[in-house]
Chain A
Amino acid sequence: MSRIPAESRRTRAPEEPGGIRPGPQGATREIERPASLISRSGGGRLGRRAASALAFAVLVAAALFTLFPIYMGVLNSLKTEGEMLNDILAFPSKLQFANYADAFEKIDFWRSLKNTVVVAVVGLAGIILFASMAGYKMSRTPGKLSGFLFGAFVLSMLIPFHSIMITLVKISKDLAVQGSTAGLGFIYIGLGVSMAIFLYHGFVKSIPRELDEAAVADGCGELRLFFVVVFPLLLPVTATIAILNLLWMWNDFLLPLLMLTDSDDYTLLLSTNMLFGEYNNDWSAILASLVLAMLPVIALYLLLQKFIVNGIADGAIKS
């Protein structure tokens, strides 16, 4: 797997200079036009336009399909039950926020949100802090011990969660981390550090060693060197790691289901699931609660969209 980033970077390289210098790119554009005329004599331009229109139509259809369930969910969450039964596709005659008030209460929104945030913050803080320290030091230290540790961390990335979950439940019970939101955060640290270490390990290589040496020569201790000099330089990869892990923890269902036994500790997803189980034909309340649970993520996505998409693509390609 480690060969992939190098390759993809190499293939991407030729395009970059073109983007910076307008000259060569402008030149290639001019070549493009006659070439297409040669290859498709006669109705070339028309055929091309038709193909482009077709492509656009396909994309629009796919986009509508993608948005349809979300749109229907939001639409019907704003109707009364009667309106929904009468015409499921129509706009509501009057926006019904009563469903939301109902759902707010039924999923105990603020408490569920708080629980979700506690889990995510504990998990994220631990993963970023511990993985950056370990990844940095392993990347900087040559030798067998370092290689062995790195291998031990990275190897587990192939193990499916379902293969460890049974024993994990037992261990968590024994250590009394089961049944607490902070405890769930601790578990996420254990499960999440591997990938984060892998990404930090790779990124640290791009930071010149001379920087460490200069700081040490100035009498900077190891820990201060890391936190004051190195850690701020890791920001780009830290951002990627934060996004990947935040989404993972926020959207994870099975582990909280196994670990949080008391409904007071339920995360947004667990509360929504519970609501679904209790009122499984009351679609107005269910849809409203789904929209509520979805809202924080969608808001984050629309705000940081570019950042998130790039971070995820980056994380996938590198690991």
Chain B
Amino acid sequence: MRLTKKRKQSIALLLFAFPALAFYAVFMLAPAFGGAAYSLTDWNGLNPAFSWVGFANYAEALTDDPSFARSLAFTAKFVVFMVVLQNVIALALAALVESRGRSKAWFRTIFFMPNMLSMIIGGFMWLFILTKVTSYLVERARLTFLDRSWIGDPDYSFYSILVVSLWGGVGYLMVIYIASLQGVPKTLKEAAAIDGASAWQTFRSVTLPMIYPALTIGVFLTLNSSFKTFDAVYALTGGGPGRATQVVAMNIYEEAFSFNSRYGYASAKAMILFLIVVVITLVQLRIMKNREVEA
């Protein structure tokens, strides 16, 4: 009797989960495992026949592909800047917005707005600012510090990409930080103030430890999204000039769909990206979780 009940339960479970599982298996699991398998082949989009090549693709990507190495370095630099700046700015904005009275809602609405837009749209709008508006300001308003090739010169277009990505992403983290700041009990801050702590000291030793879990999320989300960044770069520079501002996602995309359709080789690069993201985010979670417990 009990066994049949259990079996009945299992069947019901499978029936309920089946539609989701079917779509998930076809469009998520199969490509994930397929990609891992294809990364070990010389599969090429133009030729249906392919053979196993072991880890040759990985070896080539890591040792003999300057453009991939460059895109990795460019992405790594971008990720570092994003993780620091996006979280610092978001936290600062959250604290400032929280300190406001009636204007709070207005500021929150405005800062969050870019997050609603695709970075393709935002990127094109910024392209207008960075090419047309800046050159106008240089000419007419003599703001000579703006006289740079913000898109054409890779030294500067890195910062263009960074600013546009921050513009699009800060609001999201700010909302998370606001929610967590609201969770810090007022009585704690008051107690610190009575003990003579300055605003900075209160923030450092009372607020910060209390919002540490949100910080873990913020850093995790930034790591995750900035490693995969594509849209902003696509809209602003298209990876150029040449391949100077190419991020990893774009390098993979080009390898597979633009240049030579080396699907197997591009899959190996995609696996490398996956491993990097997983390892770094897991390490980050482990470290920050441990500190959470201490704090």
Contact = CB atoms under 8 A, between A and B. Distances in A.
A313 B110 contact: no
A228 interface: no
A74 to B, nearest CB: 10
Contacts, number: 300
A241 B172 CA distance: 16
Contacts of A206: none
Contact of B29 (A143, A156, A287): A156
Interface stretch (A96-104, A105-113, A231-239, A294-302): A294-302
Interface residues of A, number: 109
A161 B225 CA distance: 11
Interface residues of B, number: 106
Contact of A8 (B185, B213, B234): B213
B39 to A, nearest CB: 9
Interface in B239-293: 248-249, 252-253, 256-257, 263, 266-267, 270-271, 273-274, 277-278, 281, 285
B121 A67 contact: no
B78 interface: no
Contacts of A164: 28, 31-32, 35, 270
A129 B171 CA distance: 30
Interface in B1-30: 6, 9-10, 12-14, 16-17, 19-21, 23-30
Contact of A167 (B24, B34, B99, B234): B34
A220 to B, nearest CB: 14
B16 A134 contact: yes
Nearest to A68: B129
Interface in A220-252: 222, 226, 247, 250-252
Interface in B136-158: 136, 140
B214 A59 contact: no
B93 interface: yes
Contact of A145 (B13, B23, B116): B13
Contact of A190 (B28, B93, B253): B28
B217 A15 contact: no
A286 B21 CA distance: 41
Interface in A46-101: 51-52, 55-56, 58-59, 62-63, 65-70, 72-73, 76, 84, 87-89
A313 B176 contact: yes
Interface in A21-49: 28, 31-32, 35-36, 38-39
Contact of B234 (A32, A159, A253, A316): A253
Most buried by A among B20, B25, B221, B257: B20
A208 interface: no
Given A12-B182, A166-B270, A168-B31, A136 B26 contact: no
A158 B183 contact: no
Interface string A103-143: 00000000000000000000000100111011011100101
A129 B267 contact: no
Contact of A69 (B35, B125, B182, B213): B125
Contacts of A226: 16
B68 interface: no
B99 A171 contact: no
B217 A316 contact: yes
A59 B113 contact: no
Contacts of A63: 106-107, 110-111
Contact of B193 (A1, A4, A36): A36
A305 B108 CA distance: 10
If over half of A's interface residues share one DSSP class (helix, strand or loop), that class is named, otherwise mixed; here it is: helix
A193 B112 contact: no
Contacts of B186: 15, 18, 28
B100 interface: yes
B125 to A, nearest CB: 4
Nearest to A5: B213
Contacts of B263: 166, 170
A313 B281 CA distance: 20
Contact of A15 (B19, B20, B112, B185): B185
Nearest to A156: B28
A211 interface: no
Contact of B121 (A4, A51, A283, A293): A293
Given A88-B136, A163-B271, A190 B24 contact: yes
A69 B196 contact: no
A165 interface: yes
Contact of B26 (A130, A163, A171): A171
A174 to B, nearest CB: 10
A306 to B, nearest CB: 8
B254 to A, nearest CB: 12
B206 interface: no
Interface in A139-162: 141, 143, 145-146, 149, 152-153, 156, 158-162
Contacts of B266: 166
Contacts of A51: 199
B96 A72 contact: no
A254 to B, nearest CB: 6
B273 A35 contact: no
6 contacts: A59-B103, A129-B19, A143-B10, A164-B35, A175-B26, A253-B119
Given A51-B199, A89-B133, A287-B125, 10 more contacts: A8-B183, A11-B213, A28-B190, A39-B194, A58-B96, A59-B100, A72-B133, A145-B14, A164-B270, A313-B178
Across the A-B interface, the 6 shortest Cβ-Cβ residue pairs: A190-B27, A137-B16, A251-B118, A167-B34, A164-B31, A130-B20
